[in-house]
């Protein structure tokens, strides 16, 4: 006979009580194995959404989700450090960051996901490279970490299966926006990956999940506390996501921009954030004496990128997919581009085919948006402002609808603020 009844656990949280360690362990294990029904976990998720959890509950919930599956045992000679972003528009930072940190001497086991809604997925971007594959075995991951220093791939089967079930349930029960559930979801997967250090990029702004800096800081603090409690050296940067990151939003277009950065060029904001995150990762790996900006300028990170892509079956020199249809949005007046809303651009790119509404939907490799002007830059009436890429021209009107009111041209614009808005440490 079961030690607990799901209804008692639900009632305890519904009434504002604190769940015991034993209750948390039982309910997460029971849900993973079908003892706790979907509707019962849905009710508990809503109770957590409304009543919250204290730091001890969140840490235990995270641990229970880790223990629902297996942990990766990374047998590599280099210090291991990972990075996670809470998601944004044009956020291709993993692509140049993983090979850069590897070129500096660390091992980066980056288990990534796919996009859903207006934020892009790293695997979707990399799959625009001919031949590249996301699915690797544990032996392949370890071997590539030893030989190349970086691997970006899909999570292996059996890693935090409770989170996989609960993530899908939260998506359909309007319980996504809960810091305890967001934080435990992120950290259960990241801790199970086995890296000794973790740097978090917690985004704030219109194109981010957390719209305000205060909310992003609260999430960052929770994430850092969980990592620390579980023995993983963890730091979080709070970064701006009111404007798309870089100029490319989409899959192949973002890969092309990442390669520009690795070759010593690319947009200043992408370069700045890549180097800032690399410095934090190298500090956690005990390699703070290495200057990632110098390594990036040397071309060593691009060489590591080519080896990383080739190791996973991709051809780093192959041409990337190009769209069959391009629509240009022109500046409505002369002046300075004063604003460009990240969320609107993300939704427009999604509607063009760069993203998906459901996990099983396909994406177009060539779909997306090029931001030909960014806030603070001068434009003349009729100048190209945005370039919409798609293989389905019928999608253009709905993308244009998403962009209504998304940009303004004025006589002047405030200066660009910093990309890194704050740091949260243990």
Question: Are residue 383 and residue 348 in the same domain, yes or no?
Answer: yes
Q: What is the C-alpha to C-alpha distance for residues 419 and 365, in angstroms, rounded to an integer?
A: 27
- Phi then psi for residue 170, to 5 deg, are -60, -35
- 230 tagged catalytic: no
Mean pLDDT of the region 33-47? 96
Residue 59 included in any domain: no
Note whether 211 and 139 are same-domain residues: yes
Sequence-separated (6 or more) residues with CB below 8 Å from residue 398: 351
> At residue 359, does pLDDT exceed 70?
no
Which strands, in side-by-side order, build the sheet including 233-240? 81-85, 197-204, 233-240, 420-424
| Catalytic-role residue among 13, 60, 84, 327 | 84
Task: Say whether both 239 and 299 belong to one domain.
Answer: yes
Active site (annotated) includes residue 84: yes
CA dihedral 149→153→158→160, nearest 10 degrees, is 90
Residue 126: inside a domain = yes
- Residue 164 among the catalytic residues: no
Region 99-126 average pLDDT? 89
Question: Do 308 and 364 fall into the same domain?
Answer: no
Q: 152: domain CATH number?
A: 3.40.1030.10
On whether residue 190 sits in a domain, the answer given is: yes
More confident position, 111 or 345 = 345
The rounded distance, in Å, linking the Cα atoms of 202 and 234 is 12
Tell me, yes or no, whether 240 and 106 share the same domain.
yes
pLDDT at 1 over 50: no
pLDDT in tens, 248-270: 999 999 999 999 999 999 999 99
Tell me: do 313 and 329 sit in the same domain: no
**Which residue among 189, 217, 230, 389 is the active-site one?**
189
Active site residue 351: no
In this structure, the answer to whether residues 145 and 178 fall within a common structural domain is yes
pTM: 0.93
Evaluate whether residue 288 is within a structural domain.
yes
- Looking at the fold, whether 333 and 256 belong to one and the same domain comes out as no
Averaged over 59-72, what is the pLDDT?
A: 93
Pairing of strands 325-330, 197-204: unpaired
Is the pLDDT higher at 38 or at 138?
38
List, for residues 6-28, the tens digit of each pLDDT value. Answer: 999 999 999 999 999 999 999 99
pLDDT at 117 over 80: no
When pLDDT is averaged across residues 36-42 and rounded to a whole number, the result is 96
What CA–CA distance (Å, rounded) separates 168 from 28? 15
> Residue 350 belongs to what domain range?
325-410
* In a shared domain, residues 281 and 335: no
| Domain endpoint, select from 291, 318, 345 | 318
Residue 397 lies in a domain: yes
Residue 164 within any structural domain of the chain: yes
Q: Among candidates 215, 238, 239, 203, which has minimal Cα distance to 88?
A: 203
Whether the pLDDT of residue 86 is over 60: the answer is: yes
Same domain as 22, residue 168: no
Domain count, the chain: 3
The reply to whether 313 and 398 lie within a common domain is no
Looking at 288, 318, 348, which one is the last position of a domain? 318
- In the residue annotation, 170 being an active-site residue is answered as yes
Q: Could you report the per-residue pLDDT of 206-229, keeping only the tens digit for each?
A: 999 899 999 999 999 999 999 999
Active-site pick, 170, 190, 327, 389: 170
| Catalytic residue chosen out of the listed positions 25, 82, 163, 225 | 163
Q: What is the CATH number of the domain that holds 39?
A: 1.20.970.10
Active-site residue, from 185, 188, 206, 276:
185
197 and 281 both lie in a single domain: yes
Domain boundary among 248, 283, 318: 318
- CATH number for the domain harbouring residue 333: 3.90.1170.30
Examine residue 71 and state whether it is found in any structural domain, yes or no.
no
Does 1 map to a domain?
A: no
Q: Report, as an integer, the average pLDDT of 329-333.
A: 97
């Amino acid at each position: 006979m079961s030690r607990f009844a799901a209804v008692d656990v639900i009632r305890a949280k519904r009434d504002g009580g604190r769940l015991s360690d034993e209750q948390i362990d039982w309910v997460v294990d029971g849900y993973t194995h079908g003892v706790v029904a979907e509707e019962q976990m849905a009710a508990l998720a809503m109770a957590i959404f409304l009543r919250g959890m204290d730091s001890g509950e969140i840490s235990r919930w995270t641990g229970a989700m880790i223990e629902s599956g297996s942990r990766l045992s990374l047998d590599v000679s280099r210090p291991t450090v990972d990075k996670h972003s809470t998601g944004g528009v044009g956020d291709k930072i993993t692509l140049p960051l993983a090979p850069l940190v590897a070129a500096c001497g660390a091992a980066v086991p980056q288990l990534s996901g796919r996009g859903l809604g207006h934020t892009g997925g790293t695997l979707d971007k990399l799959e625009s490279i001919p031949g590249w594959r996301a699915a690797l075995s544990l032996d392949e991951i370890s071997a590539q970490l030893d030989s190349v220093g970086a691997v970006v791939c899909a999570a292996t089967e059996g890693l935090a299966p409770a989170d996989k079930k609960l993530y899908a349930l939260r998506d359909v029960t309007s319980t996504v926006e809960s810091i305890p559930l967001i934080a435990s979801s992120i950290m259960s997967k990241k801790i199970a990956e086995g890296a000794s250090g973790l740097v978090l990029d917690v985004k704030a702004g219109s194109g981010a999940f957390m719209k305000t800096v205060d909310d992003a800081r609260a999430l960052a603090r929770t994430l850092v506390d969980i990592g620390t409690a579980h023995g993983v050296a963890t730091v979080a940067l709070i970064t701006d996501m009111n404007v798309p990151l870089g100029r490319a939003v989409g899959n192949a277009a973002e890969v092309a921009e990442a390669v520009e950065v690795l070759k010593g060029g690319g947009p200043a904001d992408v370069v700045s954030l890549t180097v800032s995150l690399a410095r934090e990762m190298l500090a956690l790996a005990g390699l703070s004496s290495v200057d990632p900006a110098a390594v990036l300028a040397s071309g060593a990170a691009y060489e590591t990128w080519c080896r990383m892509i080739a190791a996973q079956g991709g051809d780093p020199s192959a041409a990337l997919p190009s769209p069959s249809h391009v629509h240009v949005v022109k500046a409505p007046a002369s002046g300075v581009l004063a604003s460009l809303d990240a969320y609107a651009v993300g939704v427009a790119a999604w509607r063009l085919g760069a993203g998906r509404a459901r996990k099983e939907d396909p994406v177009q490799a060539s779909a997306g948006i090029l931001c030909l002007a960014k806030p603070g830059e001068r434009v003349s009436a009729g100048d190209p402002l945005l370039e919409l890429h798609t293989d389905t021209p019928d999608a253009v009107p709905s993308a244009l609808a998403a962009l209504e009111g998304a940009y303004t041209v004025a006589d002047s614009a405030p200066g660009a603020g910093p990309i890194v808005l704050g740091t949260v440490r243990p």
